[in-house]
């Protein structure tokens, strides 16, 4: 009877979340869950077999640019018969079950808001595993975009007032009020939040367009620029040098901030000859109107602490940037 039960669940879900229907979401309860926590709704036998392995391969893969392995998402598994009532409020959900057809559907605000559900069905275990493998990238993108929006929403509850950044650097960001200015000059800003052990940091600066090439030298140019800025503006005790770790190959992507093309670099920073290091995320935004690359960077120093969610907060701040 279980396949029939799951098929009925599928039909009910698809009917209730039909894309073509106008739905009043004003009555929906507020979703819950920690940032980057994914609820996996699938039967125990699938979770313990090929389907579960496929899910863990992609959704628990190490997040990019961290000094130690941390999973992309923290996952909790529930069988479908327990996914009722309070459990339906979770914000991120991957729903993978056997049914009468092969489908992959992404839904927003089905049972709570904000909420993103990836609903995957197939007629066989092998087919279900294959669908997850083929569609994991777009599901992960939807989940991460949703979490960035949620992290930014939480920031708006209490934001730092920083008008001078817009006046001097031509950029504004949504920054939590727990941050403070560590250094402010005409062409350099350093904003930080103190942690129990360490800090999270944002730096903003600009360089002429010709300092970063758009070819095979791009990554090397970005590293050269950030190391020169670290040497000049970020003081380190005992004559240490804040620099990019040369034994970790950085991750490099093309991206977009406030509609402008940007280079995204994730890597590890270190203080040369000292036991200090951590992750950084750097956006070099091409601002042709002002003949510059505007550089937004977030980095963390938090020894013996997991850093995935600290960096994710910084990413959400940098992605909130508006360039005047």
What string of DSSP letters covers 246-296? TTSPPEEEEEEETTEEEEEEEEEEEETTSS-EEEEEEEEEEEGGGTEEEEE
User: Residue 38: exposed, middle, or buried by beta-carbon count in 10 A (0-12, 13-18, 19+)?
Assistant: buried
Q: What is the pLDDT of residue 235?
A: 72
Task: Supply the range of the domain harboring residue 266.
Answer: 163-323
- Of 186-190, 232-236, 266-270, the least confident: 232-236
Band (pLDDT 50/70/90 cuts) for residue 242 is confident
Whole-angstrom distance, CA of residue 184 vs CA of residue 205: 10
144 lies in the same domain as 171: no
Count: domains in the chain? 2
Band (pLDDT 50/70/90 cuts) for residue 239 is low
How are beta strands 116-122 and 103-108 bridged, if at all?
A: antiparallel
Band (pLDDT 50/70/90 cuts) for residue 324 is confident
pLDDT at 63 exceeding the cut of 90: yes
Band (pLDDT 50/70/90 cuts) for residue 237 is low
Higher pLDDT, 240 or 90: 90
Of 163, 157, 203, nearest to 178 by C-alpha is 157
Q: What is the pLDDT of residue 1?
A: 47
Of 196, 170, 152, nearest to 314 by C-alpha is 152
How are beta strands 92-98 and 74-78 bridged, if at all?
A: unpaired
pLDDT at 109 exceeding the cut of 90: yes
- Among 104, 132, 155, where does a domain finish? 155
Tens digit of each residue's pLDDT (9 = 90 or more) over 177-204? 999 999 999 899 999 999 999 999 999 9
Of 235, 296, 298, nearest to 267 by C-alpha is 298
Band (pLDDT 50/70/90 cuts) for residue 14 is very low
125 lies in the same domain as 258: no
Whole-angstrom distance, CA of residue 270 vs CA of residue 223: 13
Percent of the chain at pLDDT exceeding 70: 90
pTM, to two decimals: 0.90
- Among 127, 155, 183, where does a domain finish? 155
147 lies in the same domain as 105: yes
Band (pLDDT 50/70/90 cuts) for residue 231 is confident
Whole-angstrom distance, CA of residue 244 vs CA of residue 133: 34
Band (pLDDT 50/70/90 cuts) for residue 246 is confident
What beta strand segments (E) does the chain contain?
Answer: 37-41, 74-78, 92-98, 103-108, 116-122, 171-172, 180-185, 188-195, 198-208, 242-244, 251-257, 260-271, 277-287, 292-301, 322-323
> Would you call the peptide bond into 114 cis, given omega within 30 degrees of 0 as the criterion?
yes
DSSP state of 176: B
The CATH number for 277's domain is 3.40.1000.10
Residues in a beta bridge with 295: 205, 284
Higher pLDDT, 20 or 233: 233
174 lies in the same domain as 225: yes
Tens digit of each residue's pLDDT (9 = 90 or more) over 120-172? 999 999 999 999 999 999 999 999 999 999 999 999 999 999 999 999 999 99
Q: How far apart are the first and last CA of the chain?
A: 60
- Among 123, 155, 187, where does a domain finish? 155
């Amino acid at each position: 009877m279980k396949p029939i039960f799951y098929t009925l669940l599928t039909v009910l879900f698809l009917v209730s979340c039909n894309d073509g229907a106008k739905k009043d979401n004003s009555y929906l309860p507020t979703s819950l869950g920690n940032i980057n926590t994914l609820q996996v709704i699938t039967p125990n036998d699938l979770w313990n077999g090929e389907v579960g392995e496929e899910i863990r391969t992609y959704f628990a893969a190490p997040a990019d640019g961290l000094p130690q392995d941390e999973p992309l998402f923290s996952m909790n598994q529930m069988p479908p018969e327990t996914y009722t009532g309070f459990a339906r409020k979770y914000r991120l959900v991957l729903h993978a079950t056997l049914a009468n057809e092969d489908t992959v559907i992404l839904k927003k605000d089905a049972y709570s808001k904000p909420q993103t559900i990836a609903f995957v069905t197939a007629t066989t275990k092998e087919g279900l595993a294959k669908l997850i493998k083929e569609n994991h990238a777009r599901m992960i993108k939807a989940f991460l975009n949703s979490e960035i929006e949620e992290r930014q929403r939480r920031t708006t509850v209490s934001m730092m007032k920083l008008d001078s950044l817009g006046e001097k650097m031509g950029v504004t960001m949504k920054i939590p009020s727990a941050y403070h200015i560590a250094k402010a000059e005409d062409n350099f800003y350093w904003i930080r939040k103190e942690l129990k052990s360490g800090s999270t940091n944002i730096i903003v600066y600009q360089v002429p367009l010709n300092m970063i090439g758009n070819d095979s030298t791009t990554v090397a140019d970005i590293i050269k620029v950030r190391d020169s800025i670290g040497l000049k503006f970020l003081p380190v005790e005992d004559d240490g040098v804040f620099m990019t770790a040369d034994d970790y190959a950085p991750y490099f992507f093309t991206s977009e901030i406030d509609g402008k093309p940007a280079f995204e670099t994730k890597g590890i920073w270190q203080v040369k000859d000292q036991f200090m290091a951590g992750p950084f995320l750097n956006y070099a935004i091409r601002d042709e109107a002002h003949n510059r690359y505007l550089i937004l960077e977030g980095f963390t120093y938090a020894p013996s602490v997991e850093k995935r969610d600290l960096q994710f907060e910084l990413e959400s701040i940098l992605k909130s940037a508006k360039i005047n």
